[in-house]
Structure 1
Amino acid sequence: MIKIMADSTCDLSKKIVDKYNIGVAPLNIIISGTTYRDKIDIETDEFFKILPTLEELPTTSMPSPEEYLKIINKAIEDGYKEILCICMSSGTSGSYQSAVLAKDYFFENNPNSTVKIYVVDSLSMSHGSGWLILKSAMLLESGYSFDELIQFNENYKTKVKHFLCVDDLNNLIKSGRLTNASAFIGKLLRVKPIMSMKKGKGAIVAKERGRNRVLKFYVDEFIRRVDNKITDFVIIGYTSDMNIAKDLAEKIRLETDFKDEIYIMQMGAAVGTHVGLGGLSMFFVEKENLKDGLVKNEIRSIRNKKDELIEKIRG
């Protein structure tokens, strides 16, 4: 039997977590000196309601090794012999290192154990690791072995494409979740910045004016990048406004050939602390690691606008 574990930044819905019996180690959110366990001691909607009223930005801390050990020991008591733990990027949190410490501690105290434990550094944030976890659960259900699940995660973790747009970069800059270069650029921008992951950390790759242009960018990039052989579901994430997530899902259905599942899931308080209000994200597997960046996307945008103008003139 194989047990799948994660940390709470995977942001998978309770329905999915319960369906696949995924063990989740909660991050901690410290609000005005009080510590809350993500998704246990504070409801996500409640968190986003109080977030604008706080004088100081909440802080977060990784799950302790003890939190992971609780899940490992319970899994073994329940008869699991193989445990796959998929954590958020080591470039943005100590969650991965904490899981590795828990694994090492377990074997130090159980040197003769035949249990197998493998910890994946997903190099992803939020529903990026969530995508890998959900896909792993589906593959496990279809008959994948422990070694096959490990190989899948290591092969595809760098191909899970992230897009995240926020109304305000202040939370991400203050919490250090952006690269230094992107934080500097972000301070100069007066438009909606769009981020992706580069080497396990957030980086600005595009900027758009207004919600409609953001949605168009998401859909255009999805069409250009998606690996239809692997991507049999898309995850759209949001922080405080589900309607923009629904708008994106509808746009994908109307303007692309994608006919599989689109999950809409809210980001939890641990991720929402850094993203802030108005966050919109999308996750899928791309067919190849296409390079992107602010300059590249700006050039592509100019070319597209030129082509649109020419078409209008001709029409």
Structure 2
Amino acid sequence: MKYPIALVTDSTCDIPQSWREEFEISVVPLSIHFGNDTYRDGVDLSPESFYERLEREEVHPTTSQPAPQDFINTFQALQDGGAKEIIVFTISSAMSGTIESARLAAQDFSIPIHIVDSKNNSMGLGWQVIAAARAREQGANAWEMLEVATKVRQKMAYYISLNTLKYLEKGGRIGNATKFLASLLQIKPLIYVDPSTGIVHPSIPARSRSAAIDGLFKEFFKHLNITSPMHITVLHNAARDEAEALAERVRETYHPAELFISIVSPVLGAHTGPKAIALCGYSESD
């Protein structure tokens, strides 16, 4: 290991593999269950295969958090590799019990372990981890890394346009988005994650796909300081062409400091459904 402070997160982070390797980020997978078949998120089932199967399977997949032992195994491997301290960022505690598994694993461990509720998922989680990793590269200690990640978390904007609400409803993770009445399930819902609570809320829905993506674009940028450098991810659930078009619009209109496209992990996709598309990011302004 290059660093005495190790970074750990879970598989909902959607951090590109190249960054996971560059910044030495360990990822603990959640699980997806299709009937009697169980897959480790990002290990046994590719996102592309998952979304193809999601559309044709009659059985709705379920998801589950890692066991404490999964975190213990990761912590032990990192300690054996030279880590003197570990920081763990997990998916929002309002969305998953993953953080409780991490906390149980950290109890009585022989080196300090800091457990952070990201109050987000996907790159709403991932950007926090990357900010901490970049601070570590500049020589930051654990508390300074945590402070940097907290500032990023507080600035995070994350808006998701769903092609349908039925997967969020079936998965039981709909939260306050139930304000979308069942009779309106044919609309294109827009939801967002509140970075102060980690809870999903409804925003302004649309009646067509093109209007939904346009609404996503406009609403997202209402919540960023566009005069400061911006770090943005276009996220998609097997909607690559639309994600590329949206990324080009973002690039041409706002010229962010950092912009990339990522496919959403199967665990999250089980709840948001095929063809969802999202914008997630933050600006560097105070």
Same fold judged by TM-score > 0.5? yes
Matches within 5 A, 1:131-146: 131-146=127-142
Rounded to whole Å, the distance in 2 between the matches of 1:42 and 1:272 is: 12
- CA-CA distance at 1:94 after TM superposition: 0.5
- Counterpart of 2:140 in structure 1: which amino acid? Y
Match of 2:146 in 1: 150
1:183 to 153, 178, 182: 178
Structure 1 vs Structure 2: percent identity of aligned residues? Answer: 26
1:193 to 185, 189, 195: 189
Say which is worse superposed, 49-58 or 90-99, in terms of deviation: 49-58
1:29 maps onto 2:32 in alignment: yes
Match of 1:59 in 2: 62
- CA-CA distance at 1:184 after TM superposition: 4.3
Rounded to whole Å, the distance in 2 between the matches of 1:223 and 1:2 is: 34
C-alpha distance after superposition, 1:165-207 (max 9, x if no partner) = 111111101112112x422425243421110013222111111
Structure 1 gaps of 5+ residues are 290-315
Rounded to whole Å, the distance in 2 between the matches of 1:164 and 1:101 is: 32
Say which is worse superposed, 136-145 or 35-44, in terms of deviation: 136-145
SS at match of 1:208: coil
- CA-CA distance at 1:60 after TM superposition: 0.4
Rounded to whole Å, the distance in 2 between the matches of 1:229 and 1:133 is: 24
- Counterpart of 1:172 in structure 2: which amino acid? L
1:82 maps onto 2:89 in alignment: no
Match of 2:167 in 1: 171
Rounded to whole Å, the distance in 1 between the matches of 2:246 and 2:95 is: 27
- CA-CA distance at 1:287 after TM superposition: 7.8
- CA-CA distance at 1:259 after TM superposition: 3.5
Q: Is the 8 A contact 1:186 1:193 kept in 2?
A: no
1:251 to 245, 249, 252: 249
SS at match of 2:234: strand
Q: Is the 8 A contact 1:178 1:201 kept in 2?
A: no
SS at match of 2:154: coil
Detail structure 1 runs of 4+ shifted over 3 Å in the superposition: 227-232, 286-289
C-alpha distance after superposition, 1:109-146 (max 9, x if no partner) = x5xx3x22101101102221011112222222222221
1:39 maps onto 2:64 in alignment: no
- CA-CA distance at 1:286 after TM superposition: 5.7
Match of 1:261 in 2: 258
Rounded to whole Å, the distance in 1 between the matches of 2:115 and 2:204 is: 32
Match of 1:99 in 2: 102
| Alpha-carbon distance change, 221 to 144 in structure 1, aligned in 2, over 3 angstroms | farther
- CA-CA distance at 1:222 after TM superposition: 4.0
SS at match of 2:180: helix
Structure 2-normalised TM-score? 0.91
Q: Is the 8 A contact 2:158 2:280 kept in 1?
A: yes
Rounded to whole Å, the distance in 2 between the matches of 1:263 and 1:25 is: 23
Structure 1-normalised TM-score? 0.83
Aligned length: 280
Match of 1:292 in 2: none
| Alpha-carbon distance change, 23 to 229 in structure 1, aligned in 2, over 3 angstroms | farther
RMSD of equivalent CA atoms: 2.1
- CA-CA distance at 1:52 after TM superposition: 1.4
- CA-CA distance at 1:230 after TM superposition: 7.1
Q: Is the 8 A contact 2:131 2:149 kept in 1?
A: no
Q: Is the 8 A contact 1:123 1:158 kept in 2?
A: no
1:126 maps onto 2:126 in alignment: no
- CA-CA distance at 1:148 after TM superposition: 0.6
- Counterpart of 1:234 in structure 2: which amino acid? I
- Counterpart of 2:180 in structure 1: which amino acid? I
Rounded to whole Å, the distance in 2 between the matches of 1:232 and 1:135 is: 13
SS at match of 1:157: helix
Structure 2 gaps of 5+ residues are none
| Alpha-carbon distance change, 263 to 116 in structure 1, aligned in 2, over 3 angstroms | same
- CA-CA distance at 1:288 after TM superposition: 9.1
- Counterpart of 1:182 in structure 2: which amino acid? A
Match of 1:239 in 2: 237
SS at match of 2:204: strand
Rounded to whole Å, the distance in 1 between the matches of 2:134 and 2:70 is: 25
SS at match of 1:207: coil
Match of 1:270 in 2: 267
Q: Which has the larger radius of gyration?
A: 1
Q: Is the 8 A contact 1:131 1:235 kept in 2?
A: no
Match of 2:13 in 1: 10
Rounded to whole Å, the distance in 2 between the matches of 1:24 and 1:182 is: 29
